[in-house]
């Protein structure tokens, strides 16, 4: 189809034009003649180039060989040596490499108890390369990871006057240790609802490559990397405290239940496990009960994306630490007052891994 407004005008100044295919597909190269018609001159495989003599004002157009859709075009100027880069500015070529995942299981018997805390680690690592040179990305996804205060789902102390050791907090810290690495997205966001939590860590690699911590931004069009999914975290809340280059996610116990069926009670510290109304202060009212997830497996839907320059071919250190805070509470009735006692166990697991960005080109 001819276009009378997009055409060659004259042949007064001869120039040399190198046409370089920067896409990951084969393309056809067309000269646009004086009537605005496309005249095919060459076909280029990915990364091939073509040298031709042309004239100032002469347009050249590239189309995908498979679909005929235009990739982009170029109008020659009066410069003697010119380069026409065939590249899709809306959808930069995207490649990915899945690295060996981390799969590990650990048990930790708590002192002076029969209770065994567990960690089940299932962490996926994916490298992406978008654009030329564009950017490289590391996506880390820990959503199949589980931590449990008790391997069998039962607390060592689960009586009217004693509760322990239940999960009060799980903290996840992830970091890429390199001066040029930039955390561009992580999830989940802060969610104080205490129910279903959506973890979204996505990044749009199209067009302008602008920087934002919000999911699904970064370009007006293009390709999106990362994942979005939901996990049920009943009676737990999430705090996203990410800062700088660190993704920091806290999964906190947010509610307990009255054992007499009196409904849910907000939990913000160990003191909230003790009924301290008039009756609770003067009688042996039982401790509130803790939810199932604070005893057994709680999912850890943490993920994050870091970005480096597209020509980076070095190594970075990835670091992750997961901390369990396990709480014990005891209530003693002394006729006219109630004594409250508590202590906590902190359990840590950390892991470092060398990520080689030369594995993706």
Question: 269-328: per-residue pLDDT in tens?
Answer: 999 988 766 555 555 568 899 999 999 999 999 999 999 988 899 999 999 999 999 999
pLDDT score, position 258? 80
Q: Residues 178, 245: contact at Cβ < 8 Å? A: no
CATH 2.60.40.780 domain range(s) in the chain: 14-86
Average pLDDT of the chain, as a whole number: 85
CATH topology of domain 94-359: Leukocidin-like (2.70.240)
Quote the distance between the C-alpha of residue 47 and its chain's center.
31
Structure tokens belonging to residue 269: 């510290």
Q: What SS3 state is found at 140?
A: strand
Q: Which of 122-136, 153-167, 196-210 has the lowest mean pLDDT?
A: 196-210
CATH code of 14-86, in short, is: 2.60.40.780
Structure tokens belonging to residue 50: 């073509």
For the entire predicted model, the pTM comes to 0.71
| pLDDT at residue 84 tops 50 | yes
pLDDT score, position 95? 83
Q: Residues 62, 3: contact at Cβ < 8 Å? A: no
pLDDT score, position 217? 26
Segment 71-80 long-range contacts (CB within 8 Å, at least 24 positions apart): 71/23, 71/27, 73/6, 73/32, 74/17, 74/19, 76/15, 76/17, 77/15, 78/13, 78/15, 79/15, 80/15, 80/16
pLDDT digits (tens, 9 = 90+) for 316-330: 999 999 999 999 999
User: What's the mean pLDDT in 42-70?
Assistant: 92
CATH 2.70.240.10 domain range(s) in the chain: 94-359
Percent of the chain with pLDDT over 70: 83
Dmax (CA) of the chain: 107
Nearest residue to 20 via CA among 40, 38, 41, 45: 45
pLDDT score, position 336? 66
């Amino acid at each position: 189809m001819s276009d009378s407004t997009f055409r060659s005008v004259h042949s007064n100044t001869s120039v040399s034009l190198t046409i370089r295919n920067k896409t990951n597909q084969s393309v056809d190269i067309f000269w646009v003649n004086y009537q605005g018609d496309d005249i095919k001159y060459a076909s280029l495989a990915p990364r091939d180039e073509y040298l031709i003599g042309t004239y100032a004002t002469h347009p050249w157009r590239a189309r995908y060989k498979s679909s005929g859709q235009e990739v982009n075009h170029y109008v020659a100027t009066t410069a003697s040596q010119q380069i026409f880069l065939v590249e899709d500015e809306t959808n930069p070529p995207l490649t990915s490499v899945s690295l060996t995942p981390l799969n590990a299981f650990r048990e930790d018997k708590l002192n002076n108890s029969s209770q065994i805390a567990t960690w089940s680690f299932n962490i996926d690592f994916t490298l992406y390369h978008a654009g030329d040179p564009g950017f490289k990305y590391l996506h880390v996804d820990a959503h199949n990871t589980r931590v449990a205060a008790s391997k069998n789902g039962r607390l060592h102390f689960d009586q009217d006057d004693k509760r322990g050791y239940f999960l009060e907090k799980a903290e996840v810290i992830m970091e890429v240790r390199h001066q040029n690495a930039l955390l561009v997205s992580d999830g989940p966001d802060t969610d104080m609802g205490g129910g279903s939590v959506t973890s979204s860590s996505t990044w749009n690699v199209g067009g302008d490559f602008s920087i934002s911590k919000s999911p699904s931004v970064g370009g007006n069009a293009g390709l999106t990397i990362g994942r979005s999914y939901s996990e049920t975290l009943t009676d737990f809340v999430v705090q996203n405290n990410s800062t700088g280059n660190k993704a920091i996610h806290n999964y906190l116990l947010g509610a307990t239940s009255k054992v007499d069926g009196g409904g849910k009670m907000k939990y913000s510290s160990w003191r909230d496990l003790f009924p301290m109304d008039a009756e609770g202060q003067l009688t042996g009212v039982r401790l509130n009960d803790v939810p199932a997830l604070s005893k057994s497996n709680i999912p850890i839907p943490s993920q994050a994306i870091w970005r480096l320059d597209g020509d980076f071919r070095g190594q970075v250190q990835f670091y992750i630490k997961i901390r369990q805070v396990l709480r014990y509470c005891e209530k003693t009735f002394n006729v006219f007052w109630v004594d409250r006692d508590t202590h906590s166990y902190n359990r840590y697991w950390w892991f470092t891994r060398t990520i080689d960005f030369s594995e993706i080109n």
